[in-house]
Amino acid sequence: MLKRLTSAKEYMDFINAINRDPNFSDPMLSNEEQIRGNLLDAPDKPSNQIWGVFEGAQITGLFVFLILEEESYIEMLVGLSRSPKAYEEMLSFLKGTYKGCLADFVYNPGNHLLHKLLLDEKSEFETEQQKMLLKREVPCQSSLQVELYSPKYREQYIAIHSKEGYWTAEKVIDAPDRFRIILAIEQDEVVGYIDITHKFEENEPFDVFVKENFRRKGYGRAMLAKAIELNRPKQMMLLVDADNAAAISLYESLGFVKAVGENNLTAHVSL
């Protein structure tokens, strides 16, 4: 049985037990800030909903969703269960209640139960993401022009920005409390950008891009170095395609190390 919850606090024993399991831990609960923001503070956020799946009085699954009905968008912020029936009931509820919405699921690659369910739904999967943490301070000097976003570059930034995903260029620009935008400029042309959070204790780049004709010139490295400099003394993490050896090597040269066991998969489902 699926029940909406007003708090997750009384189920912390269940949450902690699942989240300690290397195959079923939730990559969105990998640190205290995420546990607070995605789970414990969820009842205080109008767009977030907590749901529990029960067999009798026993909880078998706990889920937190970001629900943006006006945008026909749903995102699983927390998904904790070792029961195939719990995942099936959760997905059945979403399909019945939010028909027509796009739902994003970010989850542990080892979670074979959720993965099989999403495969059966013919979901669209992104490449597995390797999590990396900034652990060393590496000096990085560059003569390339890298600077913070300003409105004079608005149209150029929007033109080259990724059109996929929730965080479009316009939404990033309209969220300065959450994002810092760093631009690479050559002769007054925007040739690359990084969208990176700055409001958290551990921040991360959401999107990194350099125009094809300007790659292998050091712009990606220069922008990321600038992001690291502006982020201090806060921590930084990033996600990179697990099969992108060149990018992983670049990040390692800037002081990042692989976070073992904290990779994730993202699936997109049309409900």
Interval 171-210: pLDDT, tens: 999 999 999 999 999 999 999 999 999 999 999 999 999 9
What is the SS3 assignment for the chain? CEEEECCCHHHHHHHHHHHCCCCCCCHHHCCHHHHHHHHHCHHHCCCEEEEEEEECCEEEEEEEEEEEHHHCEEEEEEEEECCHHHHHHHHHHHHHHCCCCEEEEEECCCCHHHHHHHHHCCCEECCCEEEEEECCCCCCCCCCEEEECCHHHHHHHHHHCCCCCCCCHHHHHCCCCCEEEEEEEECCEEEEEEEEECCCCEECEEEEEECHHHCCCCHHHHHHHHHHHHHCCCEEEEEEECCCHHHHHHHHHCCEEECCCCCEEEEEEEC
Supply the pTM of this predicted model.
Answer: 0.82
Q: Give 10-residue mean pLDDT values along the chain (271 residues).
A: 95 96 94 92 94 96 96 96 97 96 96 97 96 90 93 97 90 96 97 96 93 93 94 94 93 93 94 94
